[in-house]
Amino acid sequence: MERVRRLFDDTLFSDFPFVNALCEHVRGYRGKMLRPALLLLSGRAAGGLADEHIALAVVVEMIHLATLLHDDVLDGAEVRRKRQTVNVLQGNETAVLLGDYLVSHAYHLCGRLGSRFAVCRIGATTNTVCEGELMQIHHRGNCRLTEAEYFEIITRKTAALTAVCGELGAHFAGAPQEQVAALEAYGRHAGIAFQIVDDVLDLIGSTETMGKTLGRDLDLGKPTLPLIHCLSSGDTAAAAQLAAVLGNGLTASASEVCAWLDRTGSVAYAMQRAADHVMRAVAHLEAFPPGPARDSLAGIAHFIAFRQQ
Amino acid sequence: MERVRRLFDDTLFSDFPFVNALCEHVRGYRGKMLRPALLLLSGRAAGGLADEHIALAVVVEMIHLATLLHDDVLDGAEVRRKRQTVNVLQGNETAVLLGDYLVSHAYHLCGRLGSRFAVCRIGATTNTVCEGELMQIHHRGNCRLTEAEYFEIITRKTAALTAVCGELGAHFAGAPQEQVAALEAYGRHAGIAFQIVDDVLDLIGSTETMGKTLGRDLDLGKPTLPLIHCLSSGDTAAAAQLAAVLGNGLTASASEVCAWLDRTGSVAYAMQRAADHVMRAVAHLEAFPPGPARDSLAGIAHFIAFRQQ
């Protein structure tokens, strides 16, 4: 992980001091480095690490941070990892361009590996992520979004990147095709679980613990899993009030929303779906011999479902 | 060019109809397709076209359109190629994500060629373009920007992409290194000239002819070449008034600004600098035997300096 951090910093180094100052701020967003961890542990579990793993771990983290920068602009978010967001500090323009700068460096670093496979997989993944994000915006305020459509969105916008971490980790460890597919599936299910929990925490988490602006999904009319469940529950009073908030931009306090979701058991339902995907992720690890890397991957999947931040 | 248009459309095709509707709108921005033309003509002049040229022509156009989409968000522009901009029609969020979608597809298409050289050159170019854009934002409202700094900005944000068109065009035609360098230099000087004229037209052009929102540079405090010249001219009255507009966000009518620039001969000065770069671009074509491709490249360079749109 230390090598990942160092390569990350070296790759972004610019001749311009003001660009370096911006990148310094972005480094503060790195936090858990979940995606590099998935990629490196997948490599370990599937046979061992090569230099490509370090570079690709940096690539996926840069892509992830770029999506955060652009997301914060789209969502008008003010706090991220307990720091002010770039859009608030420096304006939306800088935040958009800094995201572009990170993506560009990610592709360039990936290209330098000279692996057609890596470049194509990363490119196809970002294609999918963008489609997921566009689909999400397209369905803002849509009170009739189905669960299937919700899963389509989060599989694209979040799980595609965690899936490619497993896939690239295994591929560059020289693992056989079944193991590559198993870690790709592990990453996809872990990513789906992660996003469900993220969406739940946006509704019921505390800004202090999470260290980022919460409650934005509802303000922006994003129908996430607990909301979809509540809307289609038999509780027509709760559903009608929620639909007014989601579809027509009415406001409601966090405690009102929590009360509606509580009555319909919608948070518990969403958390159960997240737990299902954690189980499916962990089941794909059976394809590997027991050991510390496999244990850590299982541990990460469980952490995802039970985290408070 | 027909093959370029077809591959462009095929590459962006999505399973989601709303994504295709957005891409349909973006196609309307393609206009002159200057960068694909530079790349294909460079290939022709340097030995002939291969399949890579078609794909790379699409790649550079997608990257260019993505920068337009993000620029229009940054500039708050309302009209582009006589159509409403995506940010106005669909909101800034969609415009940012659609730009990301185009960039992602550009890298993916480039990666599919299996050429480390192409991926690295495109990645390095977008790194440079982003730095140029960040530098430009950093210097908003800076009345003391030097000509050298202005040229550094436009060389990065605009000329890096036209330079790589010449370079990739020649490289994939199998041209010797001197010819690759000559077309890279041709593209760089043509790009510099293009941006100078673009900046002049933003100040003195007509929205009707240009088909896009004008006067934004001054509103946004961007010190472009005619303004830099006027500020450092001996005419202290004109300079002081201009500095108030540029640095403090005061407003001035287009005719007032034109009068100041007229008195100091600043537009003529900038156009002369553009003409110098056109001459330097054309001089690099001497490395090639006469013929229709070389003639067209020379013609494009001249068109750049004398265009009204």
| ipTM (interface pTM) | 0.91
Q: B87 and B75 in contact (C-beta within 8 Å)?
A: no
Q: Residues 60 to 119 of B: which have CB under 8 A from any A CB? A: 70, 73-74, 91-94, 96-101, 103-105, 107-112, 114, 116, 119
Contact A103 B103 (CB under 8 A): yes
In which domain, by residue range, is B197 found? 2-306
Q: Determine the 3-state secondary structure of A80 from DSSP.
A: strand
Q: Record the pTM.
A: 0.92
Give the count of alpha carbons within 13 A of A171, CB side only: 15
What is the Cα–Cα distance from B158 to B152, expressed in whole angstroms? 10
Whether the per-residue pLDDT at B219 is higher than 90: the answer is no
- More confident: B306 or B134: B134
* pLDDT at site B61: 96
* pLDDT at site A82: 65
Q: Residues 30 to 59 of B: which have CB under 8 A from any A CB? A: none
* pLDDT at site B2: 87
- Closest by alpha carbon to B4, among B50, B36, B32? B36
Contact A97 B127 (CB under 8 A): no
A89: closest CA of chain B, how far (Å): 13
Whether the per-residue pLDDT at B213 is higher than 80: the answer is no
Q: What is the pLDDT of residues B31-59, one digit of tens each?
A: 789 999 999 999 999 999 999 999 999 99
Option in B93, B123, B137 nearest A97 (CB)? B137
- Mean pLDDT of the residues in chain B: 90
In B, which residues are within 8 Å of A109 by CB distance? 123
Domain at B288, CATH number:
1.10.600.10
Domain count across chain A: 1
Q: What is the pLDDT of residues B68-106, one digit of tens each?
A: 988 877 767 666 666 677 766 677 888 899 999 999 999
Q: Averaged over B164-178, what is the pLDDT?
A: 98
User: Could you state, in chain order, the average pLDDT of each consecutive group of 10 residues for chain A (309 residues)?
Assistant: 90 88 83 92 96 97 93 72 68 88 97 97 97 93 94 97 98 97 98 95 75 72 93 89 83 83 93 96 95 96 79
* pLDDT at site B258: 87
B134: closest CA of chain A, how far (Å): 7
Whether the per-residue pLDDT at B143 is higher than 60: the answer is yes
Contact B137 A112 (CB under 8 A): no
* pLDDT at site B45: 97
- Closest by alpha carbon to A80, among A213, A209, A204? A213
In B, which residues are within 8 Å of A107 by CB distance? 107, 119, 122-123, 126
* pLDDT at site B221: 86
Q: Which residue of A has its CA nearest to B11?
A: A127
What is the Cα–Cα distance from B223 to B246, expressed in whole angstroms? 7
* pLDDT at site A25: 83
In A, which residues are within 8 Å of B73 by CB distance? 92-93, 96
Low-confidence winner among B59-73, B207-221, B232-246 (lowest mean pLDDT) = B207-221
* pLDDT at site A26: 83
At residue B214 the predicted structure's pLDDT band, cuts being 50, 70 and 90, is low
Q: Does A131 touch chain B (CB under 8 A)?
A: yes
Q: Does A284 touch chain B (CB under 8 A)?
A: no
Q: B45 and B297 in contact (C-beta within 8 Å)?
A: yes
* Buried b or exposed e, range B1-14, using 16+ CB within 10 angstroms: eeebbebbeebbeb
- Closest by alpha carbon to B122, among B58, B72, B75? B58
Whether the per-residue pLDDT at B115 is higher than 70: the answer is yes
